Every structure is written in C-alpha cells, then in structure tokens.
Chain A
Amino acid sequence: MLRLFKIEYFKLKNSKYFWILLGLFGVFLLAVPISIKFFLDYLTSIGEDFADLGISHSDMPFFDFVDLWQNLTWIYSLFSILLGFIMVISISNEYSYGTVKQNVIDGLSRKQFLWTKISFIIGLSAAVSLVALVIGLLIGFAWSPTKDFIFIVKHIEFIPAYFLHLVAFQLFCLMASIVIKRPGITIALLFFYIFMVEPIVSTLLIYKYKLVFLGNVLPIKAIGNIIPMPWTKYALKETQTSVGIDDLGILIVYIILIYFISEWIAVKKDLR
C-alpha cells in the first residue's frame, strides 16, 4: 500500500497542476479563517450588528470551541472540489496518455493501479484533516474565549467527519474520471452536476415534492451532509450540530458503492 501511494505521489509531485491546485487549496485553508476574523472584527469596529436580522455577530461565536470545528470544516468542505480536480486530472490523463496500460504492462495489477489513486486519496485526506485540526487548534487558542479541554474536544468529531467527506468526495471524482476518461469533459460534467443538476434536483425533491430522504441521499448532497451547515443556528433556527449517525451511515454506503463501481470498471474493462 505504501508502494502504491509512492507511485501516485511520484506522478503528482512531478506535475505542475498538482502543486497549483494543492497550493490554491492551502491558501484557502489559511485565508478563510483569517479573512472571517478580519471581517467580524471590522463589523465590531463599525458597530454594525445585524440586530434586525435577528443575528448579532457578537452572538456569532465563529471561533469558539465547540462551534469552531463544525464552522471550520463546513467552510473547508466548500473547497474540496480543488482536491477532487487533482484526481480528475491525474486519472483522465492516465487514460488519455495510455499510461494506465503502460503501468499494467510494467507490473501493476489493474486493482493495484486503482489503489495507487485510492491510497493517495486517503493519504492526502488524512494530511488535510490533520492540517485542519492544527489550524483549528491554533485559531481556537488564539481567538476562542473558552479554552477548556472539555469544550475543545466536544465536537472534534467533525475532523474525522471531514476526513470521510474528503475521501468520499475524491472517490466520487475518481469514479467520474474512470467512467468518462477525458479530463476536460469530466471537469465540465462534474461542475455541471455538482453546481447545477444536483442542487436543483435535491431542492425540488426536498421542498417541492417533500421527498426529504431522497433529496438528501443524492451523492454530493450526502457527501456534504456529514458536516451539516452550521449558520442557521445563529439565526436561532434548529440546527444539527453534531455528526448524524444516519448521515455517517449513508456516507459509508456511498464510499463502498463508489469503490465497487470504480473497481468494476477499472478491472473489467479493456484498456484500449
């Protein structure tokens, strides 16, 4: 498994797009909490609060422990697409260059080839989750009024949830690339699906047809649901503030399903 990871890492570390996308992602990881901090401070400094909206930024304890993990990982989850694109480009390039074929001829089984990608997804997701943990601790210690151990760890489960989210999302991109095989088309279709098709279908299902379960079980929605959107709680709406067992269950079913579909295609189809 380590050897398979190293093979993929060798390919990526020598590819420009990997560093660009990863760098961009890294910039967001740092810039997002910092700019939110500045924004909230700015609001305080001009004395603005959204009293008429029923929200007060002083009641919006973005960086307070307990809330922090969900807030941070939810925002971070919006940028997962950048990591997804690394996989899309990596895999579809292999198909268009014919290098999958060459890797197999050179001595990887087709399942091993798939696992070079999956092991990298797991490794990268673990590293990113760890970075999120460190950033969370740092900004929490800097800006959270409460620093009690019990509050720090109360909802730290959002970090492993974020890890699962990253794995699932990248696996989804992997599957799409294995099915479609062309980098440009895969990226275009993923964009179209993630930002147009699924939000519309899911909103229609949930709000128009009241098929709440069905609307929530669509793949991208389900992959996002593991970290529920936290903001509504600041408007005093009822908000899920922990990782739901049902959401976790659905996500794990997706991970397994996506894996077996990808494996089926990667192993059963001829490499031509």
Chain B
Amino acid sequence: MPILNIQNLHKEYGRITAVNQLNLTIEAGSVFGLLGPNGSGKTTTLGMILGVTNPTSGAYSWFGETGSHEHRKRIGSILEKPNFYPTFSAYKNLQLACLIKEVQESRIDEVLEQVGLFERRHDPFRTYSLGMKQRLAIGSALLANPDILILDEPTNGLDPKGISEIRQLIIEIAQSGKTIILASHLLDEVQKVCSEFAILNFGNLIHTGKVDDGFGDQVLIEVSADDNLTLEAKILGYPLYEKHRWLKDKIEIHCKSNATATDLNQYLVTNGIYVNHLTVIKKNLEQQFMEILSQNA
C-alpha cells in the first residue's frame, strides 16, 4: 500500500510555478530521496503535504486517506530549519511537542540521548549552536516513534561527526522498516541512505528511479600501489580492462561488468604487483543526477 500518494499537486506563487502538477507515490518502507537544485520545489512540496503551504490545486493522501492534521501526529518532520521556542529548553520544547502529538513524555529522555543533547537538555534553545538546533529538530521528529520521517536537509549545519551520526541514525531507522522521505541537494547523502529517488527541476518531476548500486555496464575500481607507474603499465593488460584515468594518487579503472575486486587483485599479484588500496566504486549519483538534469535542460 502506498504510504503517500500525491496527485496533481500544484503550487504557484504569483508568476512562479514552484511545483508543477506533481504526481508521486511512495511505498511503505522505502527510503525516498527528493533531489533537485536550489529552488526546484522540494520544500514547497513537503510544505504542502505537511499542511503549512496551501496547494493551488491537487491532492495528497497519507495511508490511503485524505491528508489531515491527525496523520501529522504520527509523522516526524523537519522542514527547512529548526523552529522552536527560543526561551524554552530542549526538554520544554519537546514537552510541548508531546502535548501536540499526544504522546507520552517518557519518550523525551530517549530521543534526547539519541541525538546527543541529553546533557544540555535544560539549557534554553537560543543558546544552542546550529548543529545542536538541528539535532533537536531531529529528536523532535523522532518523538512520536513515527512510521514516517520527512527530513528536509537534515544534516544542514552539522559537523562531519554530526553528519555521519545522523546518517547512521537515518539508516538505522530505515532498517527498522520505517518510511523516510529525505529532501536534499547533497547527492552523496541521498546515495548513502536512499533506495529510491526523484528529481525535481523548476517544479517539474523529471525523473524517478532506484539509487543504482552498479555503474551500468561497467565496474569502476580504484587502485593504488607503492609504484603507481608500474601499476598503470600492468593494468593495460588486464583482460577486462576498458579504460582508466588518474586520480590524485590512485588510478580509476573502468572494467567490463564481470570484473570483481578479487579477480583484478589476482591478476595484479600474478604480475608481481601488490596493491595498497583497492575499492569497487558504486555508481555515483552525482553523475547520474547531472546527466538527467542536462537531458532535461
């Protein structure tokens, strides 16, 4: 059963069409990435399905029912930036969210631990750093233990440790069978956590598909050895070799689709080369994304 069904959703701001006749279905359990350049309509789309932006026309349904505020109590969301009461502590802000969502306050400590704000829970929100505010927003989204999480740029403002923690958290939540809708322009982020994605451009849906885990009919392998020049000479003879290019201190080899890391390694060892680095590269979403955007330009 689709968990979210969007039909002909449309939003105009004066002359600007922010979202153009959008149709989209998101199945339960999927981790869905919503991609698009700045101003492509991601936040507007999420704003509409979360009741803060009035659609010019069109409709959406949650769990097969016409969307209403009752559904939103069971959906955890972040929209654009963390919005909290600046003079209230994290704890008080979450208490208020509990009142609105009608959930038990016992969840508060759990989520504060989960997002690493437990120690600072009694400090006023306005004294938090941007990353801490963002963490509180994520904590608040997790409060009702929702089946659906909607995250608009969730790692915005986080430090690298924070980013990887939040991504890990998203992946864990996804593994527990929840549905996640992630809007981002960080392709790498979507690549790491999403199973499917859609691309918006100027409000138009220009692509939906799965996040590829292969590189089409090629396999990309990155290698380096102590002596990269000898390595370069040898790989030319690899039977599955197609082409290669230099990275900074590594070589990226495009191989035929039946190549594997083991196979290449075996070949190199028999040719007297011991690699110090060997990785199979997954298809880069960024390349996919740029390709699709340029096709639709």
Interface residues, chain A, with chain B CB atoms under 8 Å away: 3, 6-7, 10-11, 14-16, 93, 97-99, 101-110, 112, 268-272
Contacts and interface: CB of A to CB of B under 8 A. Distances in A.
B73 interface: yes
A104 B51 contact: yes
Given A107-B100, A109-B68, A272-B53, A102 B95 contact: no
Contacts of B77: 105
A11 B50 contact: no
10 contacts: A99-B84, A99-B85, A104-B72, A105-B50, A105-B77, A108-B69, A112-B69, A269-B54, A270-B47, A272-B52
B79 A105 contact: yes
B96 interface: yes
Interface stretch (B86-94, B161-169, B200-208): B86-94
B57 interface: no
B151 to A, nearest CB: 12
Given A107-B72, A108-B69, A101 B86 contact: no
B88 A14 contact: yes
Given A99-B84, A104-B69, 6 more contacts: A14-B85, A104-B51, A106-B140, A107-B72, A107-B102, A270-B52
Interface in B95-112: 95-97, 99-102
B69 to A, nearest CB: 4
A99 B83 contact: yes
Contacts of A272: 52-53
Contacts of A16: 87
Contacts of B72: 104-107
Nearest to A15: B87
B85 A106 contact: no
* 6 closest A-B pairs by CB: A107-B73, A98-B83, A109-B69, A102-B83, A271-B52, A107-B72
Contacts of B217: none
Contacts of A270: 47, 52-54
Interface string B38-56: 0000000001001111100
B234 interface: no
B51 A105 contact: yes
Centre residue among B52, B54, B101 by max chain A CB count within 10 A:
B52
B210 interface: no
Nearest to A112: B69
Contacts of B102: 3, 107
